[in-house]
Amino acid sequence: MSARLTLIIMGVAGSGKSTVGQLLATKLGYPFVEGDDFHSIEAKALMASGTPLTSTLRQQWVDRLAAMLADTTAQGQPCVLSYSGLIASQRQQLRQAGQHIRFIYLQGPAEVLAMRLAERSGHYMPASLLQSQLDSMQSSSGETDVQPFSIDQPVKLLIQQILLWLTFAADLPSDNP
Ligand SMILES: Nc1ncnc2c1ncn2[C@@H]1O[C@H](COP(=O)(O)OP(=O)(O)O)[C@@H](O)[C@H]1O
Ligand SMILES: O=C(O)[C@H](O)[C@@H](O)[C@H](O)[C@H](O)COP(=O)(O)O
């Protein structure tokens, strides 16, 4: 049964986490949690100025996300969370903080990501930080609960693929089922 899985939508900036996450949450009837909302004002200002997060600011951010997931999943409340998931140990932190978690990894060519960031407006994250995000993204190879999906297709098709995968995702192995 996949109905109660909490889904973390991961990927670098511009991969579509917020767009896909919101639509998926609506389809599933789950709350959508925007990971960016858990950044401090200082962290957002730093990124807006064109500087990547420091490890300390990133860790404080992940700690807040972990606390939220521990709370909601302990109450049996699933959600869809957008979170870049760049650092493997921090993915593990979230996996262990919550229950019944699976990761949906939005992946695509750098040119597509750059184009989408260039066209996006009203977001603090500048397109110039894409390369640092790509450089920081640590491989998820061997993480059996991380499922990649291609972003190089219309959102509608992407959602259909994710919903299909969700019909069996709960039966796939996970480090922390
Ligand atoms: N599959 C897609 N096809 C076309 N445009 C997309 C797709 N996914 C997202 N976008 C657009 O790309 C931009 C970045 O998406 P967003 O959801 O903000 O990414 P993220 O939250 O990962 O930074 C937005 O302008 C969004 O409308
Ligand atoms: O570096 C990180 O670890 C963070 O993930 C962070 O940089 C995040 O990606 C931004 O908040 C951009 O927001 P979007 O991913 O929504 O563009």
45 pLDDT band, cuts 50/70/90, is: very high
Q: Is the CB of 72 under 6 A from ligand 2?
A: no
Characterise 52 by phi-psi region: left (phi > 0), alpha (psi -120 to 50), beta (else): beta
> Tokens in use for 123?
């977001």
Q: What is the mean pLDDT of residues 116-123?
A: 96
Is this complex's ipTM strictly greater than 0.90? yes
Tell me the C-alpha distance between 62 and 11, whole Å: 15
Kindly identify the ligand whose nearest atom is closest to the C-alpha of 161: 1
Per-residue confidence (pLDDT) for residue 172, from 0 to 100: 77
Q: Is the CB of 47 under 6 A from ligand 1?
A: no
Domain spanning 6-169: CATH superfamily: P-loop containing nucleotide triphosphate hydrolases (3.40.50.300)
Indicate the domain borders of the chain: 6-169
- Averaged confidence pLDDT in the chain: 95
pLDDT in tens, 54-93: 999 999 999 999 999 999 999 999 999 999 999 999 999 9
